[in-house]
Amino acid sequence: MRERVPLSDPPALDEELRVAAHLDDRLEPLWNVIDRHEPHVLVGSAGSFDSLARMVADQEGKVLASDATTFAFDALAFDALKERLFRMDRARRLAVPGLPEHRVDSIAYGMIAIERVLTAGNIRELAWSGYALKEGAAMRLLKDQRPA
């Protein structure tokens, strides 16, 4: 994504809109699932969502313990964090508590993707899971396929 739709530092609004349009084109099947199932909570784990949970916790004056397995927050907290991050250049993002250095250059893409999902489903609640969601789903599928 960073090669296809590069962002300035800090990102410009027109660049953010191009990333959103790029995602919308590729996520049409997800939008259909969201329309059909009308989810109320976006649950994420790993990657940008790990960083997001830690940054929101810090923003709310909370500490996300190293053994934490869940953390819930609302879309207003997400919106405030996104607005703050998108006004920062790389040097300022490096100083944001909860944002690891290896995510400083890619967090904008993750935030745009999360925002697109929230908007598509009119979702106002988010939850971080310390558990690996895709591995859990794979285990469930394998368990369901085993003979009884």
What number of CA atoms fall less than 13 Å from residue 84's CA on the CB side? Answer: 16
Tell me, what's the pLDDT at 141?
Answer: 66
> In which residue are the tokens 């969601």 written?
133
CATH architecture group of domain 13-145: 2-Layer Sandwich (3.30)
Pairing type for strands 125-129 and 70-74 reads antiparallel
Reported as a single tens digit per residue, the pLDDT across 101-129 is 999 999 999 999 999 999 998 899 999 99
Give the Cα separation of 107 and 86 in Å (integer): 10
Structure confidence at residue 42 (pLDDT): 93
First to last CA, the chain: 44
CB contact at 8 A, 109 and 23 = no
User: Is residue 14's pLDDT more than 70?
Assistant: yes
- The domain spans of the chain are 13-145
Omega of the bond prior to 97 within 30 degrees of 0, cis?
A: no
Q: Which stretch, 61-65, 84-88, 132-136, has highest mean pLDDT?
A: 84-88
Residue of higher predicted confidence among 77 and 3 = 77
